[in-house]
């Protein structure tokens, strides 16, 4: 809770205060996000705190929907390439090698990062707002098109 409050006060709050009008913060329903101080600061600064339903982040959390999957794929590829080139055949990545491989990962996603982030919010139906984006990934949640519609 203390770490979230620190992030909220030092990172999010200065950004939000610079904007006019209401703001929305979307949380993932983790109890460490719920503190009296955060809620009071939200009310004072015209910030609405919206929580995603439990067990739905794979459908609604933008980073889960369209950002982490390409990141994980790139990381696996980098690790596999390192294992093939490395003379060290251990099952774990030695700490001295981690920074170099992490840098490779960040460089590999640099070109698509912004596009993936925008796509993530669209795929989750958050921006532009479209509840059907999440519903279409749930079998049976949306009616099937009739033969006339096809």
Same domain, 107 and 46: no
Higher pLDDT, 109 or 103: 103
Task: State the Rg of the chain over Cα.
Answer: 20
What pLDDT is attached to residue 62?
87
Q: What does the pLDDT look like over 70-96, one tens digit per residue?
A: 889 999 999 999 988 887 667 788 899
What pLDDT is attached to residue 42?
94
Q: Is the pLDDT of residue 145 over 70?
A: no
Inside any domain, residue 145: no
Same domain, 25 and 71: no
pLDDT-derived band at 36 (thresholds 50, 70, 90) equals very high
Mean pLDDT of the chain, nearest integer: 87
Q: Is the pLDDT of residue 147 over 60?
A: no
Inside any domain, residue 150: no
Same domain, 65 and 111: yes
Q: What is the pTM of this model?
A: 0.65
Same domain, 79 and 105: yes
What pLDDT is attached to residue 124?
87
Inside any domain, residue 146: no
Q: What does the pLDDT look like over 53-73, one tens digit per residue?
A: 888 877 888 888 788 888 899
Same domain, 129 and 76: yes
Same domain, 65 and 120: yes
Inside any domain, residue 148: no
Same domain, 119 and 66: yes
**What domain range includes position 21?**
3-51
Inside any domain, residue 144: no
What pLDDT is attached to residue 7?
94
Specify the number of domains making up the chain: 2
Residue 140, Ramachandran bin (φ over 0: left; ψ between -120 and 50: alpha; else beta)? left
Inside any domain, residue 130: yes
Q: Is the pLDDT of residue 129 over 80?
A: yes
Same domain, 22 and 90: no
What pLDDT is attached to residue 146?
56
Inside any domain, residue 143: no
């Amino acid at each position: 809770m203390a770490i979230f409050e620190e992030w909220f006060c030092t990172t999010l709050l200065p950004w939000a205060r610079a904007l006019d009008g209401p703001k929305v913060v979307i949380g993932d329903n983790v109890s460490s996000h719920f503190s009296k101080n955060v809620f009071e600061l939200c009310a004072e600064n015209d910030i609405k705190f919206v929580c995603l339903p439990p067990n739905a982040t794979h459908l609604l959390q933008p980073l889960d929907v369209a950002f982490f999957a390409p990141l994980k794929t790139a990381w696996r590829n980098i690790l596999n390439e390192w294992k093939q080139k490395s003379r060290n055949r251990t099952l774990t990545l030695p700490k001295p090698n981690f920074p170099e491989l992490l840098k490779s990962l960040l460089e590999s996603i640099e070109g698509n990062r912004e596009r993936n982030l925008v796509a993530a919010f669209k795929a989750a139906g958050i921006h532009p707002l479209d509840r059907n984006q999440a519903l279409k990934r749930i079998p049976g949640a949306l009616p099937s098109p009739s033969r006339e519609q096809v």
